[in-house]
Amino acid sequence: MNTPRPGSRNLQFILCAALMSTALGFCAPSFAPVAHATAAEENAPRESQPNRRDAGGTTTSQAQTIQDAHDANTVVYQVAPNEADSELKRFLRPNYALFNRGVAANAELLVFFPGTTADPKGSWPFLESGAKAGYRVIGLDYDNGDSVPQICGPNPDPACSDRFREKRIFGDGASKEIDDLPGESVVNRLVKLLQYLAAHHPDDGWGGYLANGQPNWARIVVAGHSQGGGIAAYIAKKEKVARVIVLSGAADRVEATKVWAPWVTSPSATPLDRWYAAYHQKETRADAMKAAYAVIGIPPAHIRAFTLEPNPAAKTPPGADTYHMSMSGAEITPRDANGQPAYAPDWAFLLGAQK
């Protein structure tokens, strides 16, 4: 039996999506440029990093020109974290909650965590794929200005990563490597968001994803890209979730010695047949991702190796690992002949839509 973890604080909510006209046939939130860490920044020591603590898009950004049409049947809510919880002062980019009308009452919740410095809307096509697969979906913002490779990669102590993730995700532990506050934790943000959704949209079914004031993990699928993939994996190690999807994440190790963080090699609370993962064969840390998935014990049949070239029309900052970003990035993910995300079939597989 898993030990309940404390939550705290309060949350707010703003309804974003009114349905567009039937003739247009879509409903889309407004998108602004999203800041992404370059490959060099993602893995560089913290002291060499630009100041990304507020993660407000003031650094080099990936210009987004999202043209994906949203089905008029899709309901989208936009959440302002600081209105949700007045004590939150940092990382205030909107969260998104969406689902297709007619979604099953007992549908599972997909919670997606973006990568370092990115915000939830930066992976909008993946969120839409989740809704199409029959989930209620949340794209959650969180403290993601620093990454594990930046903070813990140069540290000879393999447990640095465990302390980092425990504090960032659950608000617990004594990590001195990051200054995250308990109320800023991933779990607290998720709990408060679900409470607000349940209170303001009681007919949508959000309350069913809470149990005794904590996430009802048995009904929740956790997914993420890069740092967010590590968050999803760490949660799945500690809690028995419905499914876990790791997109190029969870390769936490001491780079000089290649010693894995203890949590990576620890037993999983989530059965291994519920683990799914992907990486790009040409991304900078592809070998590390493959090795991490093997150490965790993810079934080989549950792992997809992406091979397509990133969208050549995408504008990316110098030094960016475009293959890594293309796993779910809205602008840079490759498109098919019809302009649709070319990885949609792979995402559907990972999401369990092809059962």
**Structure-token match 């043209």, residue found:** 67
**Structure-token match 């950004």, residue found:** 61
pTM, two decimal places: 0.83
Q: Which range (180-184, 201-205, 223-227) has the least confidence?
A: 180-184
Task: For residues 160-187, give the mean pLDDT.
Answer: 91
- Position 200, amino acid: H
Q: ∠181-184-189 over CA atoms, to 5°?
A: 155
State yes or no: pLDDT of 13 exceeds 60. no
Q: What pLDDT was estimated at residue 66?
A: 28
213 phi-psi bin (left φ>0, alpha ψ -120 to 50, beta other): left
Q: What average pLDDT does the chain have?
A: 83
CA dist 288 and 280 (Å) reads: 11
Given pLDDT bands bounded at 50, 70 and 90, which one contains residue 207?
A: very high
**Structure-token match 């839509």, residue found:** 353
State yes or no: pLDDT of 83 exceeds 70. yes
Number of Cβ atoms within 10 Å of the Cβ of 344: 18
CA dist 165 and 186 (Å) reads: 10
DSSP string across 274-334: GEEEEEETTSTTHHHHHHHHHHHT--GGGEEEE-PPPPTT----TT--HHHHTTT-TTTS-
- Beta carbons of 29 and 98 less than 8 angstroms apart: no
Q: What pLDDT was estimated at residue 10?
A: 35
Pairing of strands 253-254, 303-306: unpaired
User: What 3-state class would DSSP assign to 112?
Assistant: strand
Give strand pairing partners of 244: 222, 275
CA dist 310 and 109 (Å) reads: 29
Buried/exposed code over 292-316 (b: 16+ C-beta within 10 A; e: otherwise): bbeebebeeebbbebebebbeebeb
**Structure-token match 């504090």, residue found:** 167
Q: What pLDDT was estimated at residue 88?
A: 84
State yes or no: pLDDT of 140 exceeds 60. yes
Question: Which CATH fold would you assign to the domain 14-20+38-351?
Answer: Rossmann fold (3.40.50)
CA dist 147 and 164 (Å) reads: 9
**Structure-token match 């898993």, residue found:** 2
Pairing of strands 14-15, 74-79: antiparallel
Q: Which range (105-114, 235-244, 316-325) has the least confidence?
A: 316-325
State yes or no: pLDDT of 11 exceeds 50. no
Task: For residues 54-70, give the mean pLDDT.
Answer: 31
Give strand pairing partners of 78: 14, 96
State yes or no: pLDDT of 53 exceeds 50. no
Question: Which tokens belong to 7?
Answer: 């939550």
State yes or no: pLDDT of 268 exceeds 90. yes
